Amino acid sequence: MEDFSCLIPDRRWCRRERARCAPEGECVTSATARAYPNIALVKYWGKADEKLIVPVAGSLSMTLDDFPTTTTVTLTDGGDTFRLNEVDHDGTSADRVTVFLDLVRSLAVDAGLDTAHLSARVVSTNEGPTAAGMASSASGFAALAVAAASAYGLDLDTRELSRLARRGSGSASRSLIDRFAVWHAGDDESSYAEAVSAPDMAMVAVPVATGEKAVSSRQGMIATAETSPFYPAWITSTQETLTEMIAACERGDVTTIGELTENHAIRMHALIASCRPSIRYLNPTSIAVFDEIAAMRQEGVEAYATADAGPNVFALTRPELAHIVADRLVGFTKDNEAKILMPGQGAHLIDGASA
């Protein structure tokens, strides 16, 4: 990086984009990013590489246009800290943030940046329910990847940011992408998400519970790989479903997209239930919502159910039917609200690095 000198006495040049002369010790470098959750139509469940978070099969998702995570990363020299929704965190979630920041710092070392030795203050606001199957780790790590890369001065394109976000949480790789994303399996280099063309569709969120789930996705995936006799069939059938899904998306075939989505979600929950001991993320209300959606279809209202690793259900439908679907499902929700979500924007900076 080019070296500058500061003409103002007792100040030093903060060697970053939009650099300025600041008093010694006041080179604040921060960046703020926003990312949205994504809901998988073809699910990711299983890792080929635990450390690098490379999946056993590809997956496909819709990025939502609400429930954002907004994250500010400010470089400091006082140790990493993590604050989420006004609460300072230590323990597992803070450790995951530090492990992720270590990765960002190692990229900064490789890029020869003088930020590489700095720690970071991470302040996040999450507008969706955290860790209850509303994909908060996806929006969380996607926002963190974009904000941290910018604060540390890394110049990464969307593909590299997707690979980086993947290392925080696999599904986060897809939240980098606008609207619909396919996340490729492969290896560390080739496992990233990219856009896939798909018709406009709506997701109706049916939150039936907001508590933290008992078994994290990470633990659930390990248990599945170790104990489910159906795991090999899940891997091969997911690859086939993904190929069918990409083709259905590209030809704008909402009916096939919906049928594949619901079937794949049911397969994933059946797979997870087949662990020993069994793991169950859906509760009786979730099942009732799946049944209600099937009943609506019988009556000619085209909607399809899906759920991630938690009890909350999403109904995939045509935009013009979304209000009918939401009105029909609102009675099952915890807070009497069934929000209509549309395809949203990939993770992006809302305030670039300063100093």
List of residues contacting ligand DP6 (CB under 6 A): 40, 43-45, 53, 59, 137, 169-171, 217-218, 221, 308-309
**Three-class DSSP category at 39:** strand
Residue 39 dihedral angles phi and psi, to the nearest 5°: -115, 125
In the complex, minimum distance from the CB of residue 302 to ligand DP6, in angstroms, rounded to a whole number: 23
**Three-class DSSP category at 308:** coil
**Three-class DSSP category at 292:** helix
Nearer to ligand DP6 by Cβ, of 142 and 355: the residue is 142
In the complex, minimum distance from the CB of residue 111 to ligand DP6, in angstroms, rounded to a whole number: 25
In the complex, minimum distance from the CB of residue 250 to ligand DP6, in angstroms, rounded to a whole number: 20
Nearer to ligand DP6 by Cβ, of 63 and 217: the residue is 217
Centroid of chain to Cα 284: 26
Long-range contacts made by residues 210-214, C-beta under 8 angstroms, separation at least 24?
A: 210/129, 210/132, 210/334, 211/132, 212/130, 212/131, 212/132, 213/131, 213/132, 213/133, 213/281, 213/309, 213/310, 213/311
The amino acid at residue 195 is: A
In the complex, minimum distance from the CB of residue 192 to ligand DP6, in angstroms, rounded to a whole number: 14
Length of the chain: 355
Nearer to ligand DP6 by Cβ, of 44 and 234: the residue is 44
Nearer to ligand DP6 by Cβ, of 40 and 338: the residue is 40
In the complex, minimum distance from the CB of residue 43 to ligand DP6, in angstroms, rounded to a whole number: 4
Nearer to ligand DP6 by Cβ, of 137 and 241: the residue is 137
In the complex, minimum distance from the CB of residue 34 to ligand DP6, in angstroms, rounded to a whole number: 19
Whether the CA torsion 13, 16, 20, 26 is positive or negative: it is negative
* Dihedral angle over CA of 306, 312, 317, 319, nearest 10: -150
Nearer to ligand DP6 by Cβ, of 40 and 289: the residue is 40
What is the number of the residue whose Cβ is closest to ligand DP6?
170
